[in-house]
Amino acid sequence: MTTPSGLIVVTGADGFVGTEVCEHLRGARKHVRGLVRRLTPGTAGRADYLAIGDLAVATDTALDRALAGARAIVHLAGRAHVMRERAPDPALAYHAANVVASERLFRAAQRNGVPRFVFVSTIKVNGETTGPEPFRDGDAPNPSDLYAMSKWETEQALRALAGTADVALTILRPPLVYGPHVRGNFLELWRAVARGVPLPLGLIGNRRQLLYVGNLAHAIAALVDAPAPVPGTFVIADLEAVSTPDLARRMAGAMGKRVLLLPVPAPFITAAATAAGRAAVASRVIGSLEIDAAALAAKIGPLPFTLDDGLAATAAWWRARPSS
């Protein structure tokens, strides 16, 4: 069975996920054009990267040039969750970077006859935590912060456009994505484990699923290469769910270390985090987030990497860093 050939355009190509997706596709001998806001030392002088500026205000001519000859678009660029907000109007900033930019890119895809459009959203559209049942594709949306609400608004806008266009839209909703070059809260926990910092996690009994960046890249490649388009909205995650303390132990094991987990009751963790202005972080550390990604697996097959595979790759990167 043959797979489609031709150019794949990846937005946000120099980000954490974008870099892995581009490397995965190039490793499979795909023709890739990475769109970036501006060229950097790592992308300057390379013909397979194109500086497009802000997608929300780029001209139609610039967008058409960027998408010329494309058979698929992987849309990763956008405003992610901001840990230290500086925008004078955060809601407006999220709307412009996520909703407006995505609408303009999709319209350009329609003008240029691009048949497939993969948009990476977030599981936060479903909600922050799960109860007895995992999140599934058809759940009623329950976004609770500006980032998640902007992603949900983007999904709705793209679906409305796809209903009038001959462009197959696939939406993926991943949880926290980890792997080499990871940032944010996962990197904070990883650093703490690496340094042997005692962690107050010993009494937490939650269940959470993450997504290794290699699995996300694999899924995206499978979607753009599928013999027939795979439209729809799909949740996606690594298969295994783990508790936060077990995750810390597995991190330590990947680095050849031990971790000390203190038996601190969850309400004390919540109170301390709230006092420090980090209540949302505590909620994610303590709460459960389970995902039933069977519908996507039925379309593209199982994801190839386990949690331990992803942690081993992250540990190898960590050891190779000049500052590790």
The residues with which 168 forms a beta bridge, in sequence order, are 116
Which uninterrupted H or E stretch holds 50?
strand 49-51
User: Which range has the worst mean pLDDT, 33-42, 94-103, 122-131, 244-253?
Assistant: 33-42
Catalytic residue among 49, 147, 178, 212: 147
| CATH tag, 7-182+210-237+290-305 | 3.40.50.720
Active site annotation includes 94: no
Interval 148-177: pLDDT, tens: 999 999 999 999 999 988 999 999 999 999
Interval 287-313: pLDDT, tens: 999 999 999 999 999 999 999 999 999
- Phi-psi label, residue 78: left if phi above 0, alpha if psi -120 to 50, beta otherwise: left
pLDDT band at 86 (very low <50, low <70, confident <90, very high): confident
Residue 277, number of CB atoms within 10 A of its CB: 8
Report whether pLDDT(17) > 90: yes
In degrees, to the nearest 5, what angle opens at C-alpha 147 toward C-alphas 143 and 148? 25
Residue 289, number of CB atoms within 10 A of its CB: 23
User: Which range has the worst mean pLDDT, 83-87, 229-233, 285-289, 305-309?
Assistant: 83-87
What is residue 168's three-state secondary structure?
A: strand
Interval 68-82: pLDDT, tens: 999 999 999 999 876
Angle formed by the axes of helices 146-162 and 101-111, nearest 10°: 20
What are the counts of helices (DSSP H) followed by strands (DSSP E) for the chain? 12, 9
Residues 251, 266: Cα–Cα separation, whole Å: 21
Cα torsion 139, 142, 143, 149 to 10°: value is 80
The whole-model pTM stands at 0.95
